[in-house]
Amino acid sequence: MRLTINDIAKEAKVSKSTVSRVLNNSGYVHKETREKVEKVIKEKIYYPSATARNLSKKESNIIGVIIPEANNTFFAEVLKGIGEVVDENDMTLIFSDTNNDSVKEARALDMINMQGVRGLIITPVNDHDDSDAERKLKKKLRDLKIPTVILDRGVKNSQWDGVFFENYQSAYCATEILIQEGHEKIGIITGDLNLKIGKDRFRGYLEAMKDHNREPLKRYIYEGNFSVEKAYQLTRQFIEKKDIPDAVLTCNNLTTLGFMKGLNEYQLVLGKDIAAVGIDSNEVLDILGYNFSCVARDSVEMGRVAIRMLLERYQHPNKQRLESVMPFSVYLKGSERKVRS
């Protein structure tokens, strides 16, 4: 329910000017009166059309960003790119981490509504065909009535601008690299196959194998969820079974970390006991000298593209929908090879 200042004033039995002073945190308001107004706002879930400071101007310089994984270096780099352009334009950045939780995502969108932001960049919790979740997200985004850019994970039949990645192509290329190195038993630690990005990367692996007349063996397909812990558990399992593939495709940077954690625990040597290529770069592994090969995007540039697209939409609200697909680059550092005795 969306209330007006007049509704709050009536409920709290105070004047509209008093409510305005509470919202704007300006002018004197008796402590008990302030608490009464704030209680009504909280109980009735009042969402102002802009932040208190911008109620009269109906415009702010705040850009909102909602991401699903604050612990993922990919999103940290995206935020860096966004922040650079925000600073150049003398704006303010606020962000929320949903931790891949749809309830937290809904709360974050409510917060964005309350802040009266100028525009929003969001990576949705879900990008699959869950009609109910998709409907709820679309409604909330439409109700915001602000320029919005969808980042990394798409929204089906989206009306909003978007910045995405070559998920299928990157996985196809990474798999092809392993095939060209002569590996026979090529496995994959997938991402979340409930997500379109997970499905697309898995499809890239399967089709690369098919195009090169390789049979993807079921026992070498390890279904992950883009997390360190799940990849670690899967790696431990195939090592303990003593059925280790020649090479593995890891489907994001967190998956790669979990895979490497498992190898280290069992003292397997990358490039000797097993080969691998990952999707997305991993600075931690570079620092530690693992020389992990990858197909990766420029995450910082992805953030820059998203915020520039958002500002373009703000200037030209009726412009045709924009979509940018970020290309990948190949970085071969040696882990794609396996020394044969």
Nearest to 194 by CA among 276, 279, 100: 100
Indicate the residue type of 228. Answer: V
pLDDT score, position 52: 43
Q: Which amino acid is at 304?
A: R
| Domain residue limits, the chain | 5-46, 62-166+299-327, 167-296
Q: Residue 277: which of 215, 218, 221, 332 has the closest Cα? A: 332
CA distances from 207 to 24, 136, 204, 215, 216 (A): 58, 34, 5, 10, 10
Structural fold of domain 62-166+299-327? Rossmann fold (3.40.50)
Taking a C-beta distance cutoff of 8 angstroms, is the pair 65, 122 a contact?
A: yes
Per-residue pLDDT in tens (0 to 9) along the chain, 341 residues: 456 777 788 888 888 778 777 765 556 778 888 888 888 876 665 545 444 444 333 467 899 999 999 889 999 999 999 999 999 998 999 999 999 998 899 989 988 888 888 999 999 998 755 668 788 899 999 999 999 999 999 988 899 999 999 999 999 999 999 999 999 999 999 999 999 999 999 999 999 999 999 999 999 999 999 999 999 999 999 999 999 999 999 999 999 999 999 999 999 999 899 999 999 999 889 888 899 999 999 999 999 999 999 999 988 999 999 999 999 999 999 999 976 54
**Torsion over CA: 130, 132, 138, 140 (sign):** negative
CA distance 289 to 276: 15
User: Are the C-beta atoms of 302 and 78 separated by less than 8 Å?
Assistant: yes
pLDDT for residue 27: 62
Q: Do domains 62-166+299-327 and 167-296 have the same CATH topology?
A: yes
What is the C-alpha separation between 91 and 118, in angstroms, rounded?
A: 10
Euclidean distance between CA atoms 247 and 184, whole angstroms:
8
pLDDT, position 308: 97
d(CA 296, CA 159): 28
Q: What is the pLDDT of residue 51?
A: 42
**Per-residue model confidence (pLDDT) at position 204:** 98
The domain defined by 167-296 folds into: Rossmann fold (3.40.50)
Q: Token digits for 162?
A: 């978007």
Distance CA 180, CA 330 (A): 14
